[in-house]
Structure 1
Amino acid sequence: MVRRTRFDDAECPVARSVDAIGDWWSLLIVRDAFDGSRRFGEFQRSLGVAKNILAARLRTLVASGVIEIVEAPDGGSYHEYALTEKGKGLFPVIVALRQWGETHCFEPGEPHSEMIDRQHGHPLRALEVRSDDGRQLGPDDTVINKVASPGRDTRAAIST
């Protein structure tokens, strides 16, 4: 079996984020958690994933602090899975992936789901990356700065 490369000590936040999430099954579990799934069986039915794979992905998400195990609300002997604050912080990531998929993964007129603002019943506006002064930014408008340890400001622009 090929050993998984770890990125938990990488300087790149994208690499660390990918390491914390694990794989695409994990993102789909997080998506389902946002949609209200809380029990193992609910995730399994929605995803159609093998139970051993689902159990492993849930363990990883719990270990990384994205999901937590909570008692069943009725006090039963089973437990449920709930997003932590760290997990809820993935909401913009899920929305961005959804919107990218809507734009690039469907043929015109092909049916697909869409995310709706519950209060007003309208589809969401496309996510945008904005500067602190409100300008919309694209990839050519940004650079990466390496930030030193706290207390030292030795930022250096890095081109990517």
Structure 2
Amino acid sequence: MAISIDSATFRRVLGHYPTGVCAITAMENDRPVGMIVGTFTSVSLAPPLVAFFPDRKSRSWQRIRAVGRFCVNVLGADQLHLCQALASGGDDKFSAIRWTINEFGLPILDDVIAWILCDLHAVHETGDHDIALGHVRMLDVESSKKPLIFCKGGYGKLEWATPPSSVRAAAGAK
């Protein structure tokens, strides 16, 4: 039995599931390239793999894919301006963004919660998106601030019902 689901209904229903917001960055010919994704996840511990799901038509994704390695930048609740700048369609997305290059030649955005440097491990075509698997080479947490969250077509921040153990430990240590 085939059931037809229209894309507007699909988006509306699944939009009720909150996601974190990440910036995927790379360097192309000594210029940074980046895109925003809300579809980032861990995949495997051994080997350490992560994934994100870019729109196959995205110009930024095609450029990052050609580079073959990328950095996942986990955005904080105070970084909506970075999200908006990198979600724009222009070629000068990085003009108002502070970032540094790490020893692997990948851009890491300033003041992100965490960053994850990856080699592109595999790409699988699925519908109108790709599944991009990254083999993690280096990662770190920079901040304990709250993450930027996307849900129901808008952005917000997470409010802890029960603080994570790292937040409780930091509060108790003071």
TM-score range, shorter chain: under 0.3
TM-score (norm. length: structure 2):
0.25
Decide which structure has the larger Cα Rg and report it: 1
Report which of the two has the higher share of helix. Answer: 1
- Structure with the bigger RCO (C-alpha within 8 Å, sep 6+) is 2
